[in-house]
Structure 1
Amino acid sequence: MKDHGEKNNRLELLKGLNGSFRPGVLTALMGVSGAGKTTLMDVLAGRKTGGYIEGSIKISGYQKNQETFARISGYCEQNDIHSPHVTVYESLVFSAWLRLSAEITDAKRRMFIKEVMELVELDSIANALVGMPGVNGLSTEQRKRLTIAVELVANPSIIFMDEPTSGLDARAAAIVMRTIRSTVDTGRTVVCTIHQPSIDIFEAFDELFLMKRGGEEIYVGPLGQNSCHLIEYFEEVKGVKKIGSGCNPATWMLEVTALAQERNLGVDFGEIYKKSDLYQRNKRLIKELSTLAPGSNDLNFTTQFSQPFLVQCQACLWKQNLSYWRNPSYTAIRQFFTTLMALFFGSAFWDLGGKRKKQQDLFNSLGSMYVSVMILGANNCFSVQPVVAIERTVFYRERSARMYSALPYAFGQVGIEIPYIFVQSLVYGYIVYAMVGFEWTLTKFFWYWFFMYFTFLYYTFYGMMLVGLTPNYAVASIISSAFNSLWNLFSGYLIPRTKIPIWWRWFYWTCPVSWTLYGLVASQFGDLEDELDNGETVKEFIRSYFGFKESLIHGVAMVVVGFSVLFLLLFAYSIKRFNFQKR
């Protein structure tokens, strides 16, 4: 930026950090709030979404390649993000399915999942639903272990854990640390950010990477028995108070290295570390580890993802199928509401579909179509948004782990809606069609069901699309309400197209609801030669007043299908293009 005349006004979060993490060694990444612990971990793991990163990160001496690194590493986030309507075992199956090599057989995959479940002590709750944090399902400690297990089934060589004991009581924290220790003992490299641990938790670590506010390291090295190496290092600094009997070394360490203590002592712990023998030893170790082993080759994968595209689609659809089937508060309630509205509309417009003597008779029939589209369509739009918003958070984690690309996820999310909406439209269409008394011919009933089906479909996909395009569900809901009001106004019912001012008529043509009503009305009444009280036939009145022509019904059908496809594609694009998770 300086080369282009820009002023250097960046905030430097990490300053000249050097260090190494080795297999079979459990390293604690610590520091006061604002020291840059999570920032450093996000940079190392390749999860940082903003800022400028300068420097070198090497894996076994080779320059880090993020696409390859994501395949061999795991990242346990602090928030324990999982799909709520699948079981513990199914969560692990999904992760292993998409992250293990395609050459691994199903039998070996199941065996590996079983070993991981035993390692993290999840076998007793294998069939428990994950649930929502703080609402139902797993406890906080169980969710932590599931988070670790989801990463372990990918068989990573390196695992990052962001405050794995945060929010846990002593017993739960001990269980999680036992799980982490077991993971390290398998020969993996494990790095954990940790905040004010107890003595027992702190002593479980092998090495410490300590940072101070401003993003500088002030101690990188072994802890030793009872933290003897750490205590010896800081007690050698002139003016630092000795550790008290029974005092937690982690608490003492953070107190004596605080910014206020630095000022009181007139020292800079960052400079002290860079002048120490420990720093020189670490530099030699880094140089040694950065030296390429004779005959070694850089790790590369021939494909971006472990599984091919079709397998990704299959896995995503499998998980969404489980999630929808076990989410009656969404699927069953939506179907119940649809059936209730069908009975209500059918009774309110009872036997009006066969009356064609007056213009008002046609308006009454059209009213049954209009209210069903606006009320049930809007209900589909609003009800799907919280479901997609929850799953999008899970998607961000799984995409960062290179489990699948955006398109298979979008396919699973929209694909599972198709059979549910098919049943919804069929039940609604049959009840209302019979009760309102529309003409019973196969062609007319088919067109009625067809337009209702794709209307429910495009409203649902529209709700998904807005979640994908906006940072949160609240914003998506507001935009949905605004456009639903505009669609209501320009649907062609309140103001027919022939009466809309010419400068607003373009909005009518871009309104999907107007095409739905066009198709419904034209298919039911556009071919009728019955004479009205004003001397016009039904066909002539529909054409002169609304501008609907029965001969264009196939083109209208293609447009309605096109809106469904358009919203589907925009949802897929938004999921791929936008990431509202800032790190």
Structure 2
Amino acid sequence: MADARPRLRLSIVFIIFAALLLARLPLGRCQGDDDYDDDDRSQGASNVFASAVYSRMMNLTSIFADDIGRHFDFCVKDTDKEWNEAFNFSSDLTFLTKCVKETKGMRDLPHRLCTSAEVKFYFSSFIENNGAKNFLSLNKNCNLSSWLSGCEPGWACSVGENAKVDLKEDRNIPIRNVNCGPCCQGFFCPRGITCMMPCPLGAYCPLATLNKTTGICDPYNYQIPPGQPNHTCGSADMWADVESSGEMFCPAGSYCPSTIQKVSCSSGYYCRKGSVSPTRCYKKSSCPPNSTNQDITIFGALLMVALSLLLLIIHNFSGQMLTSRERRQAKSREAAARHARETVQARERWKSAKDVAKKHAAGLQTQLSRTFSRKKSSNQSETPKGFGAIFGDAGGEPKKKEENNLTKMVQSIENDQDSYDGFNIEIRDKNVKKNAPRGKQMHTRSQIFKYAYGQIEKEKAIEEHNQNLTLSGVISLATNVEVRTRPPIEVAFKDLSLTLKGSKRKLLRSVTGKIMAGRVAAVMGPSGAGKTTFLNAVAGKATGCDMTGHVLINGKAEHLRSYKKIIGFVPQDDIVHGNLTVEENLRFSARCRLSADMSKPDKVLVVERVIDSLGLQAVRDSLVGTVEKRGISGGQRKRVNVGLEMVMEPSLLILDEPTSGLDSSSSSLLLRALRREALEGVNICMVVHQPSYTLFKMFDDLILLAKGGMIVYQGSVKTVEEYFAGLGINVPERVNPPDYFIDILEGLVKPSASVNYKELPLRWMLHNGYEVPRDMLEEAPDVDSSLRGNQDNPSSNSSESQSLAGEVWGNVKDIVGQKQDEYAYQFSKSQDLSNRKTPGILKQYRYFLGRVVKQRLREARVQGVDFLILCLAGVCLGTLAKMSDETFGALGYTYTIIAVSLLCQIGALRSFSLEKLQYWRERASGMSSLAYFLARDSIDHFNTIIKPILYLSMFYFFNNPRSSIGDNYIILVSLVYCVTGIGYAFAIFFQPGSAQLWSALLPVVLTLIATQQKTSKFIADLCYTKWALEAFVIANAERYSGVWLITRCGSLVNNDYDIAEWNLCIIILILYGLVFRCIAFFCMVAFQRN
């Protein structure tokens, strides 16, 4: 049944088509028109008759317009255009004139033409017999009892002399059994039927000649009947698809201006099979005489070279722009830093001179006071008028007329905008408020850098004058509006416990304490103590667990996630962008995470301050580097990892092992930078592993955890040794205290006192009067009862050991619970209490766009390899997969779809698979996922536009299909857009290795499904490859007209294609791309690691 449906539909199509074919032939003579004498065979009379016949043919086309619209629309878009290209003989009616001469006068020609019933009979028999031209069904003229010579191929007969024939008759076949003879040239006469049909334009239908050697009538490959010496070869015997009647088509290398004339192609032209006129070759292309196609590979090579040069120029130009921009920034930065240092030095020299002058002035005043009376001296100024004028002392008002050069220099330093008052640490509120908005008024790079370095030098001066500066000292200096303190965040936790949902294993047990603003707290403990779990629990990121207890933010029961815009989290791994410089990484984080109301100069100041405090000045313009391409050192990379959070000026900064892998000097530098952050009111909590004694003393507080997630100590670093000494645990001399405590908790060192290390958490809880869980009291029965206080003495309850199956089931429940919590965490919303408005989606989109452009430019070599492989694929497929007229190039386009889909889809994986960790970190910090996705997709549209051009520059010019390069380009752009979206989804959902395998497998499988005839239409329609192949075939089939019309319709109906669906194919490919982009974005947001 699956084969019967297309055959039935094709049969109807051919019948309608043949009826329309006959509509173009004369009907008037069948009705007894005697306007012309049958015996008049003069040339002029024949031409007039032919013209009259053709004019009557033209008047019958509108009769069949409705039938064309109903049955023929799947392969004919413009009826008039298509039929004119097939049967518009107005330019040359020679075949009609000759046929009039070859028949018995002008009356006999209409009697030999097939009626609608005969045409219907021919095409229906042709379809039913699968195109076997020698097996038409029997009819009243050609049957077992009556087989006339007109039934043979290439011959036809006429009706009786007095019979009338209506060509529009579609039911009854007329009796044709007289005047049988060869079919006129320009017509074809099938075997088994006794009438003639006109050959379409593009066909070559001369009278056949007998090949006496083979007995074949060349060029039609039919034989004359045996035993009939008077039977000769006639004209063509069949018009069907090119596979069945290829000998009827005008041969390649020649063109046929009429159906009875063949002309060889001359030099400079080429003629494809079935051509009506020659096609001029492009200039510089190779077209010798009798060319079947033009050799335009040189144009493809030139186009590829031109495009390569253009891409190279764009890359070099953009690279030079980036380099020159970085150089200008470096020059401006160095000039600003030099100006700041020189200004500070000048100010210091001025202060020294002023102090010396004051000392001399004080001595002079003492001498003068001895001379004058007490009354007179009491009315004098504290300093002489001359010195006050020179040094501008606060004791007197200087006169402008008496200002000397030194005074003018100092006033220039203090009032010049380029100095920005940043160096005058003695300036008070009045002057500061007056000059505060200057940062917002700056636009030039030099002004911004001078402002930034001026403030940095001022802060250094303040630090030098306030070596013992504490949080209270910072608050006291807040009278200067330029010194900003951050909103404090204090996190308190009471009886905090975490238990896995499935296995009920405890990760944290009764943790109580707090971390305070303006202090640096260290979380220490042996491996497996739950240090990172503790940070996640405090931050509200713990998933798959049941949490009990309370977490208070500034004394209120609020979720810490509500403050995520002012909370920085530094992961243990150095998750930074390796193809960006140090400064670019920090600047991007600052742009997206600092307040949108903050001016650009202030943001630059923040970045420069962090770079200076972390000691990254020497590598600020160096790429961070990746595993494949080395960049900065590991210690510098670790500091950049911390700096990404420092530049957003957090109020709470959580760090997971920031000193791991750092040497002592790098660790000290990092910790000093963090202490400076703490002086501004930042709450800093960090996990560290056995720091040195120097680093240990730089912390303010210590949270010491034992295995099982229990607190052993929480408090000031200064009192930790005193507390353990009270338990009888004394740190030996020359032993680092944190190392000794952790070794005890690991069980590696036995304390000198009779204290079991397992009892230390319980002793801490009893020491602070915390409520102790019963199970902890059971685990430490040897603890002195006096320490237990009023704690209940629980009864011993022995828990039964879990079976293996129960343990496995508990682990499964743990995984399921964790996934559920992760999804709930991703899609839950919390109230924003941070009071910070970060840049919106559009601004972040612009920032992401600029970052991706830089990354792509630095990955130009990878892009170049992609382009080269695509060009090679175009050359190979264009050379090997030659265009087939029988299938309209379907095979070559099938290979094209597979190659382009595979290469572009794998190339699209890099857009998201290589930066998953970076995205997860940025999204957790509050950056827009939509802006990130759209920016990367927008930049990838460059590949969507360029890759089809590169492929077509090779494939099209090596293969030279009939379809236009514009149509092919539009299809390939839509295809690349589609497969790029699929690549995004694979890159986000799968691991890189699995994503590559899926990207290689999917195009091949979908193409095989779409090209199978037995595949369900519904399943085929789900394959994007089906729509791409249909678009390619339609674009090519539209260029086949005239004699190719039946071939086109047969191919389209067999593949279930519609010539009017080209736009639909493009739209569906684009929709597939959009849908898969939406799927990819959903997966990116939903399937995220915390």
Q: What is the one-letter code of the residue matched to 1:330?
A: V
Identify which of structures 1 and 2 has the higher relative contact order when contacts are C-alpha pairs closer than 8 Å and 6+ apart.
1
Aligned position for 1:174? 668
CA–CA separation in structure 1 for the residues paired with 2:705 and 2:895 = 62
Distance, in Å, in 2 between the alignment partners of 1:134 and 1:16 is: 45
Q: Secondary structure at the residue paired with 1:275?
A: helix
Q: Deviations over 1:291-347 (max 9, x none)?
A: xxxxxxx982578x6222212222222222222221124322211211222233333
> Percent identity over the alignment?
21
In structure 2, the residue matched to 1:548 is: 1057
Aligned partner of 2:620 in structure 1 is 126
Instruction: Mark the CA change 1:415 to 1:134 in structure 2 (over 3 Å): closer, same or farther.
Output: closer
How big is the shift at 1:431?
A: 3.2
Secondary structure of 2:1006's aligned partner: helix
Instruction: Say whether the 8 Å CA contact 2:525–2:745 is kept in structure 1.
Output: no
Instruction: Please give the secondary structure, in 2, of the residue aligned with 1:416.
Output: helix
The Cα shift of 1:92 comes to: 1.5
Distance 2:737 2:769 in 1: 19
Q: Tell me which of 882, 898, 901 is aligned to 1:374.
A: 898
- Are residues 1:95 and 2:589 paired? yes
Answer 1 or 2: which has greater helix percent.
1
The aligned residue for residue 528 of structure 1 is 1040
Q: Deviations over 1:171-194 (max 9, x none)?
A: 433333333333333331111101
CA deviation string 1:245-297 (max 9, x = no partner)? 211111111123345759973461112112225979xxxxxxxxxxxxxxxxx
Match of 2:153 in 1: none
Aligned AA for 1:381?
Q
Correspondence for 1:23: 517
In the alignment, which residue of structure 2 is the partner of 1:253?
A: 741
Partner Cα distance (2:692, 2:605) in 1: 35
Aligned 8 A contact 2:563 2:832 in 1: no
Contact 2:563–2:834, Cα closer than 8 Å, also in 1: no
Task: Provide the residue aligned with 1:313 in structure 2.
Answer: 845
User: After superposition, where does 1:412-427 map in structure 2 within 5 Å?
Assistant: 412-427=935-950
Name the CA distance, whole Å, in 2 between partners of 1:530 and 1:341.
34
d(CA) in 2 for partners of 1:27, 1:525:
75
The letter of the residue matching 2:972 is M
**Which consecutive residues of structure 2, in runs of 5 or more, have no partner in the other structure?**
1-499, 772-830
Q: Which residue of 2 aligns with 1:285?
A: none
Which letter does structure 1 place at the counterpart of 2:585?
S
- Give, as a single letter, the amino acid of the residue that structure 2 aligns with 1:417: D
| Cα deviation, residue 25, structure 1 | 1.4
Determine helix, strand or coil for the equivalent of 1:53: strand
CA distance in 2, matches of 1:414, 1:521: 29
Q: Displaced runs of 4+ in structure 1, greater than 6 A?
A: none
Partners of 2:1080 and 2:501 in 1: CA distance: 39
RMSD (CA atoms): 2.7
1:516-574 deviations in whole A, cap 9, x for unaligned?
A: 11111111224522546xxx644223313322222111111111111111111111111
Q: Are 2:577 and 1:83 aligned? A: yes
Correspondence 1:192 to 2:680: no
CA distance in 2, matches of 1:302, 1:247: 46
Aligned residues: 529
TM-score where L is the length of structure 1? 0.84
Distance in 2, Cα, partners of 1:481 & 1:264: 67
Deviation at 1:387, TM superposition (A): 4.3
Q: Which residue identity is paired with 2:995?
A: A
1:271 aligns with 2:757: no
Q: Paired residue for 1:73, among 567, 574, 592?
A: 567
- Superposed displacement of residue 368, structure 1: 2.7
Question: Which residue of structure 2 aligns with residue 294 of structure 1?
Answer: none
Residue 1082 of structure 2 aligns with an amino acid whose one-letter code is Y
Cα distance in 2 between the residues matched to 1:486 and 1:445: 27
Question: 1:444-491 CA distances to partner (integer Å, 9 max, x unpaired)?
Answer: 322210111121222122111022223x22332343344333213113
Alignment of 1:408-557 (within 5 A): 408-439=931-962, 444-470=964-990, 472-492=991-1011, 495=1012, 499-502=1013-1016, 505-529=1017-1041, 531=1043, 537-557=1046-1066
CA contact 2:913–2:992 (8 Å) conserved in 1: yes
Amino acid of the residue matched to residue 1003 of structure 2?
A: N
Report if aligned partners of 1:522, 1:550 keep a CA contact under 8 Å in 2. Answer: yes
Q: CA deviation at 1:210?
A: 0.4
- C-alpha deviations, 1:89-129, integer Å up to 9, x for none? 11112111111111112222122211221121222222211
* SS at structure 2 position matched to 1:371: helix
Structure 1 384/482 Cα, relative in aligned 2: closer, same or farther at 3 Å?
A: same
Q: Which runs of 5+ in 1 are unaligned?
A: 1-5, 281-297
2:858 corresponds to which letter in structure 1? R
SS at match of 1:459: helix
State the partner residue of 1:218: 712
Deviation at 1:384, TM superposition (A): 2.9
**Take 1:84 and 1:366, find their aligned partners in 2: how far apart are those partners?**
45
> Map of 1:372-411 to 2, 5 A cutoff?
372-404=896-928, 406-411=929-934
Q: TM-score, normalised by structure 2?
A: 0.46
Q: Distance in 2 between matches of 1:302 and 1:205?
A: 29
In the alignment, what sits opposite 2:1067? 558
SS of 1:18's equivalent in the other structure is strand
1:514 partner amino acid? K
Q: 1:170 to 1:449 in 2, by over 3 A?
A: same
Correspondence for 1:346: 878
- Asked if the contact 1:407–1:576 (Cα under 8 Å) also holds between the matched residues in 2, the reply is no
The 8 Å contact of residues 56 and 63 in structure 1, kept in 2 or not, is answered as: yes
Give secondary structure in 1 for the equivalent of 2:511.
coil
The question of whether the paired residues in 2 share the 8 Å contact of 1:457 and 1:564 is answered with yes
- 2-side partners of 1:175 and 1:302: how far apart? 31
For residue 234 of structure 1, report the CA deviation from its aligned partner: 1.1
Alignment of 1:132-147 (within 5 A): 132-133=626-627, 135-147=629-641
User: Which one has a bigger Cα radius of gyration?
Assistant: 2
Q: Residues 232 and 302 (structure 1 numbering): CA distance in 2 closer, same or farther, change over 3 Å?
A: closer
1:117 partner SS: helix
* Letter of the structure 1 residue corresponding to residue 1014 of structure 2: I
Maintained 8 Å contact 1:330/1:383? no
Are positions 1:231 and 2:721 aligned together?
Answer: yes
1:300 to 822, 833, 838: 833
CA shift digits 1:202-231 (9 cap, x unpaired): 22212110011111111011112xxxx222
**Cα 1:134–1:20, aligned 2, differ >3 Å: closer, same or farther?**
farther
**Deviation (angstroms), 1:143:** 1.2
- CA deviation profile, 1:494-520 (whole Å, cap 9, x unmatched): x3xxx2244xx4321111111111111
Counterpart of 2:1033, as a letter, is: V
- Whole-angstrom CA distance in 2 between matches of 1:134 and 1:512: 36
Aligned partners of 1:144 and 1:176 also within 8 Å: no
Q: Give yes or no for contact 1:207–1:223 (8 Å, CA) kept in 2.
A: yes
After superposing the two structures, state which structure 1 stretch, 340-349 or 308-317, moved more. 340-349
Between the aligned partners of 1:268 and 1:147, the Cα distance in structure 2 is 38
* Aligned mates of 1:189, 1:519 — CA distance in 2: 62
